[in-house]
Structure 1
């Protein structure tokens, strides 16, 4: 299970399914130092887009799972409504994938493409994306 029982009660069935989709993606494709985060984005149509992060030897070339999933959603013409990301534990940690908040870069990127999206946060349930980035960068 990717979320403790108390946390799961904070989520709708659709958000629980989103967390499980992200967890399944990272469980399936986990490779220490390569793919450690899974993300799932739900579009307005109900379609879910899943991805894992793409780590790289040159750190700057790495791409977060949320960005990979967002690219797929954008290409499908989807409006993103909800986002969940999970991190697979390192081999020495044990346990299963756990919900993690999007990094700052992903918050900015998601805000550009899905300003009205909601984000699943660890231990808190769902919150508006805008609440995670109250002062976004603007050109």
Structure 2
């Protein structure tokens, strides 16, 4: 266990997914517009990538994880296996990063058992998204 999280085995397919998130933001990075890339693998094995959309009014910015999820859903996908995001930092380095709380909520709304790939002490770590979201919001009046 790592901080209450039960790590899962990181596979070569997971490493490929992480690299896809890094690759998309390295290609499409644009200061003040796109700094986070995400890659999503469906249960059928199809891979989708996207970048986040920054906005002058921060509240209307859209995370890369939400965009990649919408992209896959728009293509007819309904079952999701794993997701990973990567952040292009100010110093030019790109590293896998953890999804924000809103993305954790959104992703578990669509696939409670989705895996997430993170970086822990310089190494990829895979766990269930629900491990990162104890006591998930269940909606008003439920």
- Write the deviation string for residues 74-113 of structure 1: whole angstroms up to 9, x where unpaired: 12232111000000121xx24x310101000000000001
- Write the deviation string for residues 8-65 of structure 1: whole angstroms up to 9, x where unpaired: xx63110111011111110111011110000000001110110000000111110000
Secondary structure, aligned partner of 1:38: strand
Q: Which residue does the alignment assign to 1:30?
A: 29
Q: Which residue does the alignment assign to 2:135?
A: 135
TM score, norm. by length of structure 1: 0.87
Distance 2:29 2:116 in 1: 23
* Alpha-carbon distance, 1:134 to partner: 1.0
Secondary structure, aligned partner of 2:37: strand
Runs of 4+ in 1 over 4 A off after TM superposition: none
- Structure 1: runs of 5+ lacking an equivalent: 1-9
- Structure 2: runs of 5+ lacking an equivalent: 1-8
Q: Which residue does the alignment assign to 2:5?
A: none
Q: Which residue does the alignment assign to 1:4?
A: none
Q: Which residue does the alignment assign to 1:52?
A: 51
Deviating more after overlay: 122-131 vs 36-45? 122-131
1:11 lines up with 2:15 in the alignment: no
TM score, norm. by length of structure 2: 0.85
Q: Which residue does the alignment assign to 1:108?
A: 105
**Alignment RMSD:** 1.2
* Alpha-carbon distance, 1:138 to partner: 1.1
Distance 2:54 2:104 in 1: 18
Q: Which residue does the alignment assign to 1:63?
A: 62
